[in-house]
Amino acid sequence: MSGPRARDSLAGIGLAALLFTRTFGGPRERFWQRMTETGAVLGAMALAEDRRSRSTRIGLRDAVLGLGIAAGLYAVFQQGDRMARRAIPGGDRQIGEIYELRALRPEREIAARLALVIGPAEELFWRGLIQRGLASRLGPVGGWLGASAAYGGVHLASRNVTLIAAAATAGLYWGALAMIGAPMSALIASHVIWDVWIFLVRPTEERATT
């Protein structure tokens, strides 16, 4: 098999929906353990079903490109943060709830979970298995839009409108780059850099709370 098929993607979306419901629905204090487990399962599925993903290697060039991609998305989220606070009822509170997750585990542990499991797994799964699989049936644009909608959709389990919108935006951004040919290695690097930066190093809500 040269790549994922549409039916692989549909099965993956169903599994992801169940896992994200478990992740957001369980005891809050064990959120990071469940999120890591979700990443491990979805990442393993992507590697098992998509041969191209198994050959992914990250080099210096990928890291540099990933840094640029992450910087672009961070700029988008800086604007999105301001818009969410003004346009979404309770947006300020919802953003605060997201960042409160930082206090559940030591920062170095969270960074390791994001860098070693969660970030890489999300790219391999959503832009690899799901988007490529849907594109095999729906074409590049259909695969991009379908995968992005599914990525945002599984976050409905969080019941946090701001997080759902953020996930959909990030999915469209990374998915568009995947559609035009950005290498998976650079997308993984960008996801890891962006996760650690926006969540632990320079949160968008920092200025509003200091």
- pLDDT for 2: 57
| Residue 31 placed within a domain | yes
Residue 58 within any structural domain of the chain: yes
pLDDT at 85: 65
91 lies in some domain:
yes
Residue in 196, 49, 6, 36 with CA at minimum distance from that of residue 108: 196
Range of the domain at 82: 6-209
Q: What is the pLDDT of residue 209?
A: 40
pLDDT 10s per residue in the chain (210 long)?
457 777 888 999 999 999 999 999 999 999 999 999 999 999 999 999 888 888 899 999 999 999 999 999 999 888 776 766 666 666 677 777 888 899 999 999 999 999 999 999 999 999 999 999 999 999 999 999 999 999 999 999 999 988 998 899 999 999 999 999 999 999 999 999 999 998 898 877 544 443
Residue 94 has a CB neighbour count (10 Å cut-off) of 21
- Asked if residue 175 is part of any domain, the answer here is yes
Residue ranges of the alpha helices (H) in the chain?
Answer: 6-25, 31-49, 51-54, 60-87, 91-99, 107-113, 119-122, 131-154, 161-179, 184-196, 206-209
Rounded to a whole number of angstroms, the CA Rg of the chain reads 16
Residue 1 has a pLDDT of 45
Convert 19-46 to b/e letters by CB count within 10 Å (16 or more is b): bbeebbeeeeeeebebbbebbebbbebb
Query: Alpha-carbon distance 210 to 201, whole Å?
Result: 14
| Three-state SS at 203 | coil
CA distance 41 to 56: 18
pLDDT at residue 77, as a whole number: 86
Give the number of residues written for the chain: 210
Look at residues 52, 57, 53, 21 and name the one whose alpha carbon lies nearest to residue 38. 21
| 204 backbone dihedrals φ, ψ, rounded to 5° | -65, -25
**Cβ(141)–Cβ(69) below 8 Å:** no
Name the DSSP letter for residue 181.
T
> What pLDDT shows up at residue 109?
97
Q: How far apart are CA 96 and CA 204, in angstroms?
A: 10
List the structure tokens of 21: 């419901």
Residue 119 lies in a domain: yes
Q: In the chain, how many domains are there? A: 1
In-domain check, residue 1:
no
